[in-house]
Amino acid sequence: MSSSSNSGEFRIKGAGRHTPARTARFTFDGKSYTALEGDTVASALLAHGVHLLGRSFKYHRPRGILTSGPEEPNALLDVSRDAARRQPNVRATVQEVFDGAKIASQNRWPSLKYDIGAFNDMLSPFFAAGFYYKTFMWPREAWHKLYEPIIRRAAGLGEAPKEADPDHYASRYVHCDVLIAGAGVAGLTAALSAAATGKKVILVDEQPEVGGALHFDSSTVIDGQNGFDWAQAMAAKLKAMPNVTVLTRTTVFGYYNHGFLALVERVTDHVALPGRDLPRERLWQVRAKKVVLATGSIERHMVFANNDRPGIMLASAARSFLNHHGVAVGRNVGVYTAHDSAYEAAFDLKRAGVSIAAIVDSRSHPGDGVLAEARALGIDVLTGHAVTDTSGRLRINSITVTRNGGANARKIKVDALLISAGWTPSVHLFSQSRGKLRFDEANQRFLPDIYAQNCISVGACNGTDDLADLIDEAIAAGGGAAVVSGENRFEWTGGMIGAAEGAGPEDAVKAFVDFQHDVTAKDIRLAVREGMHSIEHIKRFTTNGMASDQGKLSNMHGLAIASEMLDRPIPQVGLTTFRAPYTPVTYGTLIAHSRGDLFDPARKTPMHAPEAAEGAEFEDVGNWKRAWYFPKRGEDMHAAVNRECRTVREVGGVFDASTLGKIEVVGPDAAKFLNLLYTNTWDTLKPGKSRYGIMTREDGFIYDDGVVGRLAEDRFHVTTTTGGAPRVLQHMEDYLQTEFPHLNVWLTSTTEQWAVIAVQGPKAREIIAPFIDGLDISNEAFPHMSVAECTIMGVPGRLFRMSFTGELGFEVNVPADFGAAVWKAIWERAQSMGACLYGTETMHVLRAEKGYIIVGQDTDGTVTPDDSGYGWAVSKKKTDFVGIRGLKRPDLVREGRKQLVGLFTKDPKDVLEEGAQIVADPNQPKPMTMLGHVTSSYWSETLGRSIAIALVAGGRAKMGSTLYVPMADRTISVEVTDMVFFDKEGGRING
């Protein structure tokens, strides 16, 4: 083999569309090759006579290049620029060569030519369809210890890169009047027609240049010129129009609801030195008023024994390599076909100087046109014959040909074999749009039938093969006018689906249906024999069509074989549903910039930075980062929390409560509205006062809680739980807009507008006093549960007298922009007085000592206000509020419901696990009767012992009794107590 600076000894002088002087160097498995710019990896390797590109998935059989397009199942390679920019499973037929590309084969060890895994091929009788399901059933324990690790190691092609992806990806949204998928003759013609109307048109094609089948179809003449040249001229004309966008190297991979389509544009994968500002790929999300599908068709292979050797490829692929890339796929080429189109491959090769060993045609009567041409060119045609076997270890070297029926077997030497069983219309996108297909019995294909969206199929994907008809159809679909004339040289006939002669039925024969998953005709027959009667079951049992090519070549063959075995017509066997994506899409494209810090943005309070500077550890609460605790040097979390708890109770503490949800409820009917949304009464609340409120859903269960302050007759400052803010606002809006629209109320989220600094502890008043202007905050003038607007350090703010610790406490609200400055000033003074900063962990301990619940931790959506000991918060006088009826449901008022109570462990040092189950009789045989579970549990430094809150069936009637918490290694005895552990009289908050 040559690896010299020439672009390969299989280049045909004068053939192809690349410029000989423009070369690119790349390596394949470490060996250096020269390609021409515009080559795919496949054409570049074929130019050097390299056909062996990989090993198959299951049997590790040598495999080559089967196609020249995105449907390629075999030639999957690892392509890299450097260690991080490496991609496995790249189709050699799609990837363009760029200078410096490093390309490697996959699924082989130690080398492509000598692969130990090929042992599987000899063991293949054991690896029949369903092998894994049958073999690894028992013992059950062996699954995750033994079978799964081994299967996982052996499974999958390629190896994912371990480094983070350094490339960036872009995303774009666009609207258009007409989107046209596919820029072959049909797509270009439709685009010309649509563009003439002045509509906004997007024309998309997955290849580097427009033209579709004109890449290989050299005999088509359109408007008097070579088809491919015509296509380029039309693309240039369209690009010059202001209302047209032409996207090449772009695949429409998904067609979703209401004209929504997803496209991936490969921006730099073909470029040697991509500009740093360019994205690697770009996701286009298009909303199109109308879609024209001009997606063409895909040639099928023939299913016969050993049809997978390197050197065997689709006839159209060989034509592409010759007519577009200027590469001959062999020097002595055979053809095996059931369709006229393959003859044209033989004609093109013959004219380029390649010898054609024979055309073997399974049909007795091919088209007259191609037969005559073959005769004129002196090509041997064997009609009514079959290729029943092939030979050649790493590349095909001969075919065995018999007359149909098996007589007169003889070997013919070849170095490549072109195959064609006809063409399968690409109805993938039509099917994704939820269109319904019909089976075209005469031509053995599925075609678009009933459209679900404003969409139309034209050309080969619609079964329209005649060029003149296709052009008329495309002009009509474009909705405008265009003048295009063209004709086919030959009228194509024929085609078959299913197994050809020589595909069995003997079990030893490997006639591949699905190349990527190594599914043979025999496997599909076996699946039917074993009782799989629907195509969905057959597909899953054999994995036919489930590889990354999604059965673009194999689905129709598999269906036909199943249909024959089941003796049922094809439409009754069914067709599996086509799903997006049409071809594999990188994760990078789908997520674009949503990774790293932007994957799930963090919400930080205005005091985040100064808290971090004070050494705060943060915890995630929803998307919020909340200061968790503030360790001093040498302290662990436990020590820090104990110190913070002690300091708050003895002196004071400063806490960031900014994450609490805040909703401003304003309007003449604000109190009436809150009366309906909360279980409490609000019209009796005087301006300047606040109240703890509980919100239930209609079913009577607690939905949220929080303190609500009344600033004026018509203005309330509502606080919600940190996590509850968005859903509470949605809940309120829902009732206001749809059930109580007669109420004159406005709701505004102010969560992020207010920074909230809680100052708690015996010295709280002394700490904040110097910062408050225009307000008497003495105990007499501003008692517990007061609220007022005032000036705080010169900033308009709101001051609440409230407490979630049981101590004298205030919550200072200032506009978010001033939060950090006010916080710093308060903290500086607090620190000088011996107070501390405290975080959410200390807040949790302090509130638990007081028996204050946390909605979502101590309640779980099945807890009523009464269950949680807050029955007093439910108004007995109101005639309506959300939940009033739900609370009267029989199950909500029955005896023995789970209620929140306190628990003391018998050993005060034992801290229970949150979530631990509680039982009455620890010796009861399993399954034990569970009375409830621990909802909150902490070490209380204040009390010098552990405390816990638990939901216990009939809990309040069990005060003083002993219950048990069974753990894995022991059982813990607990005593049921009151939920308020500290300062039961509540004197401290009035300090």
Partner 1 sequence: MLLIHCPYCEEDRSELEFRWAGEAHIARPENIAAISDEEFAEFFFLRNNEKGLTYERWRHIHGCGRFFNAARDTVSDRFLMTYKAGLPKQPIPVASKAAAIAEEKTVETWEATEGDAR
Binding interface with partner 1 (CB under 8 A): 256-260, 287, 434, 436, 450, 452, 533-534, 536-537, 568, 572-575, 577, 698-699, 730, 733-734, 737-739, 741, 879-880, 884-886, 888-890
Name residue 973's beta-bridge partners.
Answer: 964
CB of 741 to partner 1, least distance (A): 6
CB of 572 to partner 1, least distance (A): 5
CB of 580 to partner 1, least distance (A): 12
Q: Which amino acid, 272?
A: A
Nearer CB in complex with partner 1: 261/657? 261
Nearer CB in complex with partner 1: 452/598? 452
Nearer CB in complex with partner 1: 346/570? 570
Q: What is the dihedral of CA 609, 613, 617, 618, to 10 degrees?
A: 0
CB count in 10 Å sphere of residue 226: 14
CB of 536 to partner 1, least distance (A): 5
Q: Are strands 715-720 and 702-712 parallel, antiparallel or unpaired?
A: antiparallel
**Cα–Cα distance between 925 and 917 in angstroms, integer?**
15
Q: Which amino acid, 50?
A: V
**792 — alpha (psi -120 to 50), left (phi > 0) or beta?**
beta
Nearer CB in complex with partner 1: 223/536? 536
Nearer CB in complex with partner 1: 440/880? 880
CB of 440 to partner 1, least distance (A): 18
CA-atom Rg of the chain in angstroms: 38
Exposed e or buried b per residue across 765-782, where buried means at least 16 C-beta atoms within 10 angstroms of its C-beta: bbbbeebbeebebeeeeb
CB of 589 to partner 1, least distance (A): 17
**Cα–Cα distance between 694 and 865 in angstroms, integer?**
8
Q: Is the peptide bond before 601 cis (omega within 30 degrees of 0)?
A: no
CB of 734 to partner 1, least distance (A): 6
Q: Is the peptide bond before 584 cis (omega within 30 degrees of 0)?
A: no
Chain-centre distance for alpha carbon 500: 39
**Cα–Cα distance between 702 and 905 in angstroms, integer?**
28
Nearer CB in complex with partner 1: 80/457? 457
Q: Are 511 and 522 in contact (CB under 8 A)?
A: yes
**Cα–Cα distance between 478 and 291 in angstroms, integer?**
10
Nearer CB in complex with partner 1: 93/680? 680
Longest dimension (CA), the chain: 115
CB count in 10 Å sphere of residue 437: 18
**Cα–Cα distance between 630 and 252 in angstroms, integer?**
53
CB of 436 to partner 1, least distance (A): 5
Residues 6+ apart with CB under 8 A from 665: 673, 674, 715, 716, 718, 732, 745, 746, 747
Nearer CB in complex with partner 1: 889/984? 889
Nearer CB in complex with partner 1: 113/436? 436
Nearer CB in complex with partner 1: 65/729? 729
Q: Are strands 355-361 and 445-450 parallel, antiparallel or unpaired?
A: unpaired
Nearer CB in complex with partner 1: 738/929? 738
Q: Are 353 and 12 in contact (CB under 8 A)?
A: yes
Burial (0-12, 13-18, 19+ Cβ within 10 Å), 635: middle
CB of 427 to partner 1, least distance (A): 14
C-alpha distance across the termini of the chain, in Å? 94
**Cα–Cα distance between 153 and 834 in angstroms, integer?**
61
Nearer CB in complex with partner 1: 131/439? 439
Nearer CB in complex with partner 1: 239/438? 438
CB count in 10 Å sphere of residue 200: 18
SS3 string, 634-660, reads: CCCHHHHHHHHHHHHHHCCEEEECCCC
CB of 982 to partner 1, least distance (A): 38
